[in-house]
Structure 1
C-alpha cells in the first residue's frame, strides 16, 4: 500500500451509519475485535465525528455517548495506522470536547493517549483491567440468606436502569432499553426485590459480561455469583470482563482462567461521577460507554 501524503488535507464531519463498513475495517486494522453489529450499536446510542482523507476514505473515528443532561462518555477513538502522528486523534478529541464541554466527560485512555487527555483537562480516576479467555471453571458462589439469582423480566427495565444509574453515577435511563435488546440478563433478588444484575451479550468474536451491578459483600460474593452464573453457562466460549482495579476482582478472574490481557486508565474532565456508596459497578458495559 502506498504511504499517505502527510500534506493531504483531512476533513472532519459527522459520523453516519454509512460509515459503519469502513469503521469496521478500520477497527480490524488496529486489531479491535468489534463486529459490524458492535459498530451499529455504538452508532445507535452515540454520535460523533469521522476523519476522511482527500479521497473520502475514512481514516479516523470518535464517538460520544450522552447520559442525561450533564454527562457523556467518549470512545471509539481510532486513527488508521498509516495516518497516525498527524494530529488526527487530537483533532477528533477537540471536536468532541467542543461539542459536549458543558458536560462532565469521561474517557478511557491508553498509555499513549493519556498525555493528550491530561493536556485537555482530564484527570485520572482508576485503572480498568481487561480479562478474557475461554478456558474457565467457575466455582459455585453462595449468596446471603434470602438472596437468589433469577431471570430478568420485561418489567424489570426501570429498576435495572435505576440500579445502573446509582452504581455508575451516570443516568442509564436511555441506555438500558437498547442494551437489553442485544443482551441477556440475570437478576440478583433479595426477598422479591431486585438489588443487582449482570448482562451477557455478543461482542466481537465472543461475548462480554457487563455491566455487573451489586451491593458490596464480604469477598465480593454477590458480584462473583453473578459473573460465575454466566461463565458456568458458557464454558469454553470466549468471554471478556472489564473490571475497575479498585474492586479487587482481577486475581479471582485470573484464577478462573480469564487472564489479564490489557489495562487502560479511566479519566474525567469537568468533574467526576458521583455514585451511590451502597452499590458498585463491578464490570463495565464497555470501555466506550462505561
Structure 2
C-alpha cells in the first residue's frame, strides 16, 4: 500500500498516530469543529490504532483510526481531513491505510453526510441512522415509567460482570474497550429477578458528558438507565447517541437533549447490527468511533 500521497503542492506521509504529538491531533479536530479534548485523543489512542497524514515538516493534515473488537470486527472513526486537503483524495488514501491494517475483519463506521459518498464508493452499506441528542440537561427530568427491577452502581473493579451482556447486545466481544471506558466512568446496572438485564455508563467527553453505552431490552429499561445519570447532570451539557426513534428518544428530547446531527451506520464485509426484539440491544452508543 502506498505510504504517501502527492497533493498539489506537497506530499503527505502515513505515520503511526501514536507517534504524533497529541496537540497536533487536537488542532486537527478543532479545525473541523469537533469537540475532542486532549484527554479524548489520549483515550482514543489507547483504545485503538491508526495513522496520521503528516507533511515533510511535521504538520498533521489528516487522521484515521480503527478499534478492534475481538478478531473479527473493527469500528473505524476519527477520520478527519483538514479543509486544505479535503478535495484532493486524502480521505480515500487514509481509508486505504486503515483497510490494510484491519486485514480481513468486518468493518463498521458512522458516516457524516459529507463522507457518505466516499464510504459508498469504498464498498460500505448503510444500515441505520444515528441521532446525536445533546444539550444542557433540563432542571427537572420528565416523569419516568414504572421501574421493573433494581438499579445499582457497579464499581469499576467489577466491570467483568457486564461483559457477557454487552457481547450479546453488541454482537462481538468488546471487553477490552468496555474496560477502558469504565476508567473514571459511573456505571449503573439493572437487575431483574437477580439477573443483570441492562447497564449504562456516563463519562466525560468533549463539551461535557456522554451517556453510553446504554444496553437494555426495551425503552422503559433504557429510559431508567439513562435517567440515573442525567439526574446528576441537570444544567450541564450531555450527549446521547442512539438509533432509537421511539419512547427512549422522546425521553431524551423531553430532557432537552435535542437532535443536533445525524450520521449513518455503515458496514463492509458483512452486516454489523444484530438487533432482535425484546432482547438486550445497544440503545446508547459508546461513541461514533467506538459504536
With structure 1 as the length reference, what TM-score do the two structures score?
Answer: 0.92
Shift of 1:212: 0.3
Per mean C-alpha deviation after superposition, the further-off stretch among 17-26 and 235-244 is 17-26
1:141 aligns with 2:140: no
For residues 214-241 of structure 1, the C-alpha deviation after alignment (integer angstroms, 9 at most, x for no partner) is 112xxx1110111111111110010000
1:110 aligns with 2:109: no
Give distance in 2, aligned partners of 1:66 and 1:184.
24
Match in the other structure for 1:23: 25
Give distance in 2, aligned partners of 1:69 and 1:108.
20
Match in the other structure for 2:286: 285
Give 1:155-166 correspondences, 5 Å limit: 156-166=158-168
Give distance in 1, aligned partners of 2:122 and 2:134.
31
Match in the other structure for 1:229: 228
Per mean C-alpha deviation after superposition, the further-off stretch among 189-198 and 100-109 is 189-198
Q: What 5-or-longer segments of structure 2 have no aligned partner? A: 1-6
Match in the other structure for 1:212: 214
Shift of 1:250: 2.8
Shift of 1:194: 1.8
1:9 aligns with 2:4: no
Match in the other structure for 1:150: 152
Give 1:1-290 correspondences, 5 Å limit: 6-136=8-138, 137-145=140-148, 147-154=149-156, 156-216=158-218, 220-245=219-244, 249-273=248-272, 275=274, 277=276, 278-290=279-291
CA RMSD after TM alignment: 1.7
For residues 84-119 of structure 1, the C-alpha deviation after alignment (integer angstroms, 9 at most, x for no partner) is 211111100111112214011001111121111111
With structure 2 as the length reference, what TM-score do the two structures score?
Answer: 0.92
Per mean C-alpha deviation after superposition, the further-off stretch among 274-283 and 20-29 is 274-283
Q: What 5-or-longer segments of structure 1 have no aligned partner? A: none
Shift of 1:73: 0.2
Shift of 1:274: 5.7
